[in-house]
Chain A
Amino acid sequence: DIQMTQSPSSLSASVGDRVTITCRASQSISSYLNWYQQKPGKAPKLLIYAASSLQSGVPSRFSGSGSGTDFTLTISSLQPEDFATYYCQQSYNTLDLTFGGGTQVEIK
C-alpha cells in the first residue's frame, strides 16, 4: 500500500492569509496526486488533479505543486468559504487508491 501523510492535521488561519498544506507519499507517485475539499455534511469536491491541474470552476487562488513524494496545496488568499477539510489522494496505484488523513482549516 502507498501511505499518504498530510501535515498539519489542522490549522487556524485568518481571511486573506496564504495557507499551505503538505502531502507526502511513502513511495514515488510521479504526479499522480489529487486534492479534494470537504465541507461539514457535504461530499468531497475535486480541486486539483495530476498534482497541479486546476479543476474547471475552481478559483485560481487554489494551486498545487510537487512530484515524486512531496506535494503542496496552496490557497493564496484564504476566503470565508475555504474553511473546510482538505484531502490528498494518490492515483499512482489505481487499483488501491489511498487518501491522506485530511487537514482541517479553521478560522482564527
Chain B
Amino acid sequence: QVQLVESGGGVVQPGRSLRLSCAASGFTFSSYGMHWVRQAPGKGLEWVAIIWYDGSNKYYADSVKGRFSISRDNSKNMLYLQMNSLRDEDTGVYYCARDVGSSSSSWYDPWGQGTLVTVSS
C-alpha cells in the first residue's frame, strides 16, 4: 500500500541544524511532487515546501526561506528536509505528503505519520 514514513525528528538547540527524512513506498515515487507541512503544538497546519517530481523546482514558505532546503533521491524513494538556523517557532510535527493534484493544483494523499521537532535550549 502507499506509505510515507518520516524520521529524523528530535530535540535541538536554537541555531542548530536537523535533517528530516521521508521514506516512500507502494507507488512510483519519481512521478509525484512532494511537500512538507508542519503543525505547531495545538495549532493548525502550515505548508513548508514543495519539490517537483524530478527535483527541478523547489519552493518554500516565507517563514523558512533561506534556512530550510527540500531535496529528494528518486533512486532511493526518499524525500528530505534540511533545516538550518532553527528557531523556537520551528517546533512542531513535520509531515511529508504526496501531491496527487492536477497540473494546475495540488492536494495531498497520503500524509506520513509525522515526526516531532522540538527547538529548545
Which A residues have a C-beta under 8 Å from some C-beta of B? Answer: 32, 34, 36, 38, 42-46, 49-50, 55, 87, 89, 91-92, 94-102
Contacts and interface: CB of A to CB of B under 8 A. Distances in A.
A99 B44 contact: yes
Contact of A87 (B45, B59, B109, B112): B45
Nearest to A49: B107
A34 to B, nearest CB: 4
A44 to B, nearest CB: 6
Contact of A97 (B47, B112, B113): B47
Given A32-B104, A49-B107, A94-B101, 20 more contacts: A32-B105, A34-B107, A34-B108, A36-B45, A38-B45, A42-B113, A43-B110, A43-B113, A43-B114, A44-B45, A44-B108, A45-B109, A45-B110, A87-B44, A91-B105, A94-B50, A94-B104, A95-B50, A99-B47, A102-B45
A32 B104 CA distance: 9
B111 A94 contact: no
A97 B44 contact: no
Contact of A44 (B101, B102, B105, B111): B111
B106 A101 contact: no
A67 B95 CA distance: 28
Contacts of B44: 87, 99-102
A55 B110 CA distance: 11
Nearest to B102: A50
- Contact size range, B: 20 to 34
A46 B47 contact: no
Nearest to B6: A43
A100 to B, nearest CB: 7
18 contacts: A43-B95, A43-B110, A43-B112, A43-B113, A43-B114, A45-B110, A46-B108, A46-B110, A49-B101, A50-B102, A89-B45, A94-B50, A94-B104, A95-B50, A96-B47, A97-B47, A97-B106, A99-B47
